[in-house]
Each structure stands twice: as C-alpha cells, then as structure tokens.
Amino acid sequence: MQWFLSLPASLQALLVSAFMYAMTALGAACVFFSKKPNPAVLTLCAGFAAGIMIAASFFSLLLPALGYDSVLPNFATVTIGFLLGGAFIIVSDLVFTRKEERFRGLGGGRNALLFLAVTLHNIPEGMAVGVAFAAAPLEGGGALSALLLAFGIAVQNFPEGMCVAFPLRKEGLSRLKSFAFSQGSGAVEIPACVLGALAASFVAGLLPWALAFSAGAMIAVVCSELVPECFSGNKTLASAGIVAGFCFMMLLDVALG
C-alpha cells in the first residue's frame, strides 16, 4: 500500500483505471458462460452501484471541491462545475436519443448507440477518479477516498459490461465479438483517468472545477442510466440496492477517509 501511495498521481490513476477496466471486461466475459443474466442480480447490482456513485459524488468529489480556493467563491465554483458536468451528460443523452430514433426508423443501430452511449458515459467516470487522485496529496486521507471512488465505479462496471455484451449477443453477434465491443466500452476509462489526473495536477486552479464537473456528470449518469435501469425491474430490490450502496460507500469514506 505504501508503494502505491508513493507513486505520482498519474501512475496511481493508470493502475486503478486498469482495475476498473478489468471489471468491465469481467462483466462482459459472462457472455461466454450464460445465455441470459439473472434479472434480479442485475437489478440489485445496478441499484448498489447507483448508491455507491451517489455517495461518492458527494463525499469524494463535491465535499473536497468545497475546500479549494478559486477565482470565484467556493460555492459558486462548485455549483457551476456541477451544472456543467450534468449538462454534458444531459446534452449527450439528447443527441444519442435523436440518433437512436433515426436509426430505429431505418431498422437497426440501437445496440451500436448503446455501446457509444456507455463509452461516452465512462469518460467522466474515468476523469472523476483521475481528478480525485490529483487532489489526494492536498487533503488528508485523499488517496483512500480516491481508491474508494474507483472501487465504487468498478462495482458499477461489472453489470455494465454485461448490459452491453448480452444485447449484442442477442442481436446475433458472436460471443467473442460481443465481449470485444463490451470490454472496449470500458477501455476509454484508462486514458480519461490518466488525463484527468495530469490536467488537475498541472493546473491547480482547475481542481475544484474538475471535481465538481465530475460529480455533476456522475449524478447525471446515475439518473439517466442506472436508476431507470434498476427500477424497470424489481423496485424493492432496486431501492434496497441503492440504500445499501450509499450506506456502504458513506461508511467507508467517513470511517476510513
């Protein structure tokens, strides 16, 4: 652990993002062993991941962002950054929704757009972890908080890998191709994570903006993807998963961070 903490933020981000990607690949690999995932398991996993990401957005991103000085008052920086992050995901969703309707009218392309949407949403998630590691040297227990954030996203990546691979398999792609496309959607987190760490490390004034932006983007992803997905199934399991995930992340961050 001490060896890891002694590494530069960019290398920490690289190693952790590789683990996050591996969880996506592990979820995608389930397509080799099963024809269809258990809906109850997916619902519970999606809810748990949503709860983790909601808690991480506050405890690991927004709360630290409030502790940094910037040109604007702290509350204004965090609010504007959060709004920009949320707007980025909302606008992206609007673009993909229109494209999906156009492709649906032509008779195909929905799963390609699912792949692109998941890939796009993984960019701010990777950036969030990279920025958290860049902020770690400036706050007590920051590295542990960043690790917990990465763990939360990694948990979410496992069912996400399945949710991309299985629809592709259902459309007739081979298991190998379904796996390849699904794991590729998570690979983007590695460069996004490293770039986030480098940018926030070298441009000190960018740190609170980047933390707040990442938080806004993550909350928007949870609201647009995870919450509708898990509540389309068993609402009781979804609610239990969200509450359990939030409590799990909150306890780890408050007790250990």
More confident residue, 191 or 233: 191
**For residues 84 and 183, what is the distance between their CA atoms, to the nearest angstrom?**
28
Tell me how many helices (H) and strands (E) the chain has.
12, 0
Q: What are 8-50's pLDDT values in tens digits?
A: 888 888 999 999 999 999 989 988 887 776 778 778 877 887 8
Q: If you average pLDDT over residues 151-161, what whole number do you get? A: 81
pLDDT at 78: 92
Q: Domain spans of the chain?
A: 39-256
- Report the percentage of the chain scoring pLDDT > 70: 86
Lowest-confidence segment of 68-72, 124-128, 232-236 by average pLDDT = 68-72
Reply yes or no on whether the pLDDT at 81 is more than 60. Answer: yes
Lowest-confidence segment of 7-16, 65-74, 133-142, 177-186 by average pLDDT = 133-142
Reply yes or no on whether the pLDDT at 83 is more than 80. Answer: yes
Residue 257: pLDDT band with limits 50, 70, 90: low
User: Which of 183, 223, 189 is CA-nearest to residue 93?
Assistant: 223
pTM of the predicted model, to two decimals?
Answer: 0.73
CA distances to 51, 53, 104, 148, 248 from 240, rounded to whole Å, are 9, 15, 34, 21, 12
pLDDT at 91: 87
User: Which of 204, 112, 120, 123 is CA-nearest to residue 164?
Assistant: 112
**For residues 118 and 113, what is the distance between their CA atoms, to the nearest angstrom?**
8
Q: List CB contacts of 240: < 8 A, sequence separation 6 or more.
A: 44, 47
pLDDT at 204: 63
Reply yes or no on whether the pLDDT at 99 is more than 70. Answer: no
Reply yes or no on whether the pLDDT at 191 is more than 80. Answer: yes
Q: What are 131-141's pLDDT values in tens digits?
A: 888 877 655 55
Within 10 angstroms of residue 140's Cβ, the number of other Cβ atoms is 9
User: What letter would DSSP give residue 61?
Assistant: I
Please say whether the beta carbons of 178 and 99 come within 8 A: no
